[in-house]
Amino acid sequence: MHIHPDALAVAGAFAPDQPAILNRPHAAARAARFFVEKFPGRSLYAVKANPSPELLRVLWDAGITHYDVASIAEVRMARAALPEATLCFMHPVKTPSAIIEAYRDHGVRVFSLDSIEELEKIRDATTAANGGILPEDLTLCVRLRVSSEGSELSLASKFGCDLTGAGELLQATRQVADSLGVCFHVGSQSMSPHAYVQALERVRAAIVDAAVTVDIIDVGGGFPSIYPGMEPPPLEDYFGVIDRTYESLPVSYSAELWCEPGRALCAEYNSMIVRVERRRGTELFINDGAYGALFDAAHVGWRFPVRLLRDSAANEDGETETQDFSFWGPTCDDMDHMEGPFALPADIKAGDFIEIGMLGAYGAAMKTAFNGFGATEVFEVSDEPMSSQYRGDRRDPRVSDNVVSLR
């Protein structure tokens, strides 16, 4: 694949009729190296955030060896892309046939659960896959329900056992598992490192109540990226409080610390070029939307960074007058609307191209073909993403511009 310098070069050379996905493998590799080098444990990439086989290989080459898969389709795809990777089936509710295939055909030995029923299902399915003998190589992670306070998207309702029942479930799982883990998820785009401290204190209470030996603590995902209006603390802050709290937990002397970043590893991997098909006041009709890569912008009000792809968007005085716009997607559905606001030059018009950044997490993964739309072109570019946690040049959001730091 030819590597283009940036989005403007792609728009100028190709003027794509369809939305164009821009891949930045160097950004994803940098994010992976950051986690490999700085997280005080093992990092599992959450494949659901962006299941591109090309991305998985980029992350593998950068040192990510373990992958959180959440369906048998993800198991198959990840195994085909990465024959030597360790796959961890971390969806707490699975079909027996999926468990059997994952264990027997794809070498999966790590499973999560949040109920006695799921434990029995895993036990029976893996026994069937192992010739009628209960396997002695299972790693089972009990998912604990924790608060999603401080996260932009809650994950506190659907999965996870309550603290009141965790002791019994941990004891039962210990009887089946060769290696026992406790996992949780504080919610997507967690804006506070303290969320992990609170969750780990619940883990502590569950372990003490169960009085079992625990071999893995998995703090899940939730590690944030940078978006307009969302400036999280540096990731080092998250890693530091997790490490300090983990070190005081009553776990095995050889226990491992895991995490499952999705967004944090792939958000900077993709952006997208869209074309303005019509302007109606402060409303722009574009050729991607709620049923494409902008699902989050439409349905949860997520604001993504945007910029106009035009050689001369400035006024004569060198400044650009901007205006807030909303977007309409290409389908016939009124729900195909992205309220924003998205700040763009006030003179934007039909035929202009816009780059929408930070779509690597869930954007490309959630595109559909509804209403006959959904086709995209793909290009690789070498410039930097619109925001980055990893370049080393980010202003610390905790430090006010009018405060002098004495070091």
Domain boundaries, the chain: 3-21+267-381, 91-259
Q: Is 332 a catalytic residue?
A: yes
**CA nearest to 217, candidates 263, 171, 262, 248:** 248
Q: Which of 141, 259, 266, 332 is catalytic?
A: 332
- pLDDT (0 to 100) of residue 374: 84
Segment (H or E) for 341: strand 337-345
Exposure b/e, 32-53, CB count within 10 A at least 16 = b: bebbeeebebbbbbbbbbbbbe
Under 8 Å between Cβ of 103 and 131: no
**CA nearest to 395, candidates 264, 234, 241, 194:** 234
The angle, 0 to 180 degrees and rounded to 10, between the axes of the packed helices 116-129 and 96-106 is 40
**C-alpha neighbours within 13 Å on the C-beta side of residue 38:** 16
- pLDDT (0 to 100) of residue 156: 81
Rounded-to-integer distance, Cα 28 and Cα 49, Å:
13
- pLDDT (0 to 100) of residue 126: 98
- Per residue in 94-120, pLDDT (tens digit) is 999 999 999 999 999 999 999 999 999
Best CATH choice for the domain 91-259 from the list 3.20.20.10, 1.10.287.310, 3.50.30.30, 3.60.21.10: 3.20.20.10
Across-strand partners of 337?
328
Look up residue 297 and give its amino acid: A
Measured from the Cβ of residue 347, the count of other Cβ atoms closer than 10 Å reads 14
Look up residue 25 and give its amino acid: P
Segment (H or E) for 258: strand 256-259
Locate 198 and state its tokens: 């609170």
Q: Looking at residue 406, what DSSP letter applies? A: P
**CA nearest to 357, candidates 300, 299, 309, 310:** 309
- pLDDT (0 to 100) of residue 275: 96
Q: What's the helix, strand, coil split of the chain in %, to 5? A: 30, 25, 45
**CA nearest to 373, candidates 342, 328, 339, 329:** 329
Under 8 Å between Cβ of 366 and 297: no
Rounded-to-integer distance, Cα 84 and Cα 384, Å:
30
- Residue 407's contacts (CB-CB under 8 Å, 6 or more residues apart) are none
Under 8 Å between Cβ of 286 and 352: no
Look up residue 11 and give its amino acid: A
Look up residue 257 and give its amino acid: L
Residues lower than pLDDT 50 in the chain: 313-316, 401-407
- pLDDT (0 to 100) of residue 331: 92
- CA distances from residue 378 to 132, 255, 293 in whole angstroms, order as listed: 47, 42, 13
- pLDDT (0 to 100) of residue 4: 93
Under 8 Å between Cβ of 263 and 223: yes
Rounded-to-integer distance, Cα 321 and Cα 313, Å:
9
- pLDDT (0 to 100) of residue 273: 97
- CA distances from residue 325 to 69, 119, 120, 273, 310 in whole angstroms, order as listed: 37, 50, 53, 17, 17
Under 8 Å between Cβ of 388 and 349: no
CATH fourth-level superfamily of 3-21+267-381: Lyase, Ornithine Decarboxylase; Chain A, domain 1 (2.40.37.10)
- pLDDT (0 to 100) of residue 319: 62
- CA distances from residue 384 to 80, 178, 287, 389, 402 in whole angstroms, order as listed: 30, 44, 24, 12, 29
- pLDDT (0 to 100) of residue 329: 93
- pLDDT (0 to 100) of residue 315: 46
Q: Which residue has the tokens 């944090």?
A: 264
